[in-house]
Structure 1
């Protein structure tokens, strides 16, 4: 894969000029795709591996529908599972459905419920668009990719790289041990500050998911700077 070659330590800048140009073009195309979103948007994350008959799929679809019915766009990674469910719900609700997909050797192909679709080669360009498009993140159960997206968002907010916006975990049972580790290890060991816990919300209530995102948007909390960059940010 292209990234394997680019990320090899022995590859020198002069050997990567064409790659640098392609990466810049990918960012440009991503920004242009975000420009097509003509309404506030929420980004939904979650596993590509959940089936249509699962409660997680059902709830992600309902979440997408509720946001769409309120005039919001729904942005996902554009693939199957939770991503498909949220995009499908957006279509159910008559809203705008957006998918930022990624080229992988397995697992991920664009789902059929997309109004705006763009496939990326590089994760870093793709993840930038998730943040740029969003007024909030809703995180459903998922694997490494979902957790990566979650912690990148928290780090960007914590360090003041982006304005504050809500990050909501859906599923207290699923995320309970993760939250326990954050509180019992990171907080107790002084790796994060008590106010960093306020960056996260966890719920099993879809109404609360929607209200948290809409309330922040209506109060324009995303236009207020996040906490100042802190010495303990990393």
Structure 2
């Protein structure tokens, strides 16, 4: 293992936690000492490695085995002493400002998540309480902008994409920015960075000074995929289900670019929600787009959805190939429809309260060998529940690909097994094989060993 150059530093809050009482500081320090330290350490290490070409949390931890954080309580607030921190996060001994903001956002969110989990006022087995939790979490992260008209476009897609696809995401982002739209992504590399990068230029052209580049992630993902430096608002939700709910509650429309297992998971999550009978009349613009070279990818994905979820699911989205301007125009039109609907129904612009999300989409799924093998992938269950279980299958594959705990389970017990009706598992296996062949499971240059086996 080649160890990287490191530096020792001491930093104080910026962007979050600047004004704290002594009791709050003591609580933060105590939380860090009572079991949350290792989680916080992993997240901060990933943040300090912004721009890293690794998508493996285990590899990142091995590169900086001596990295440590000391949480210091002082009269003026809180201070973090960083030992053996990645030197690339500093310029002339000073931490880069965006990196410093994200470090304290991580502390804010991890401690808040733990304190809310222990709250007697919330039952995290209840769907309505989970939604309230997501609302409070985003509000605590200062992401609520009451009265601001709908303009947040969520962009989903792969972290492992080629140069041509990446350029296309920038072009779409540029068109979104010209129309005054903000960008929200999973905050990592690839598709999570491209639209933000394109939008920064067009926002500057339009003299938009309060542009938002929102990153929503969770500890298992951020530890493997460092956030990109364009993100100016970061929230680290406690698990993948709450992260996904945050996307659809905070965002006003979603663009899906080519990706791998994580992108399929996100798309299936949203399709399952939109297929719920209670959501039939709620406008939610959903556009799938990419350059000409990705047309076979979208045809295969479209076919997979037809074979598993059916024709109705296909009607919930539009596919636009090789036309970045049309993709942005379609999203801008969708924003107007969202605005009109929410105004007519007195629904908040800043949080999608009316969207019904079933319990199967809210309760955390633990991707282990037993749960993956037990997934109900059969044709005779309601389509929105089948979508939920397909989403869980892809969630397990993401865990086995990039999350430290998932990687460890695969190393110990072998690949996850996926069972079900052949009408479901055959197209699933075909889609996954295509992702592998196209290099969509790992960053370019990485050898991919499947963490799953579809049982025939």
TM-score range, shorter chain: 0.7 to 0.9
Correspondence 1:100 to 2:216: yes
Q: 1:196 aligns with which of 313, 325, 338?
A: 313
2:297 is aligned with 1:174: yes
Larger deviation: 22-31 or 86-95? 22-31
SS in structure 2 of the partner of residue 93 of structure 1: helix
Q: Answer yes or no: is 1:80 the counterpart of 2:189.
A: yes
Contact 1:165 1:221 survives alignment (8 Å): no
Per-residue CA distance 1:25-61 (angstroms, 9 max, x = gap) = 973222444304845111001111235xx11111111
Answer whether contact 2:166 2:191 (CA < 8 A) is retained.
Answer: yes
Given the alignment, which residue of 9, 21, 24 partners 2:118?
21
Task: Identify the match of residue 206 of structure 1 among 298, 301, 324.
Answer: 324
Counterpart contact for 2:237–2:243, Cα < 8 Å: yes
Distance 2:326 2:258 in 1: 17
Residue 116 of structure 1: how far off its partner (Å): 1.1
Q: Give TM-score, length-normalised by structure 1.
A: 0.76
Structure 1 residues 149 and 212, CA gap change in structure 2 (3 angstroms): same
Q: Give, in angstroms, the shift of residue 223 of structure 1.
A: 2.7
| CA–CA distance in structure 2, aligned partners of residues 79 and 210 of structure 1 | 22
The Cα shift of 1:221 comes to 7.9
**Alignment partner of 1:165 is 2:284:** yes
Flag structure 2 segments of 5+ consecutive residues without an equivalent. 1-35, 37-113, 125-129, 204-210, 343-353, 359-381, 386-456
**Aligned residue in 1 for 2:160:** 49
1:13 maps to none
Secondary structure, aligned partner of 1:208: helix
2:138 is the alignment partner of 1:30 = yes
For structure 1, the 5+ residue unaligned runs are: 3-16
Shift in alpha-carbon separation, 1:103–1:201, aligned structure 2, 3 A: same
Contact 1:101-1:109 at 8 Å conserved across structures: no
Contact 1:165 1:222 in 2 (8 A): no
**Deviation (angstroms), 1:207:** 1.8
Query: Structure 1 residue 182: deviation in Å?
Result: 2.6
Task: Figure out how many residues of one structure are paired with residues of the other and give that number.
Answer: 209
Residues 59-111 of structure 1: CA deviation (Å, up to 9, x unaligned) = 11121121122111100001111101112122222232111122237531111
TM-score (norm: length of structure 2): 0.41
Q: Which residue matches 2:258? A: 141
Deviations 1:149-191 (A, max 9, x none): 11111111110465231211113221211212333x23xxxx5
Residues of 1 paired with 2:236 and 2:156: CA distance?
A: 16
Taking a change above 3 Å as real, the CA distance of residues 206 and 156 of structure 1, as seen in their structure-2 partners, is: same
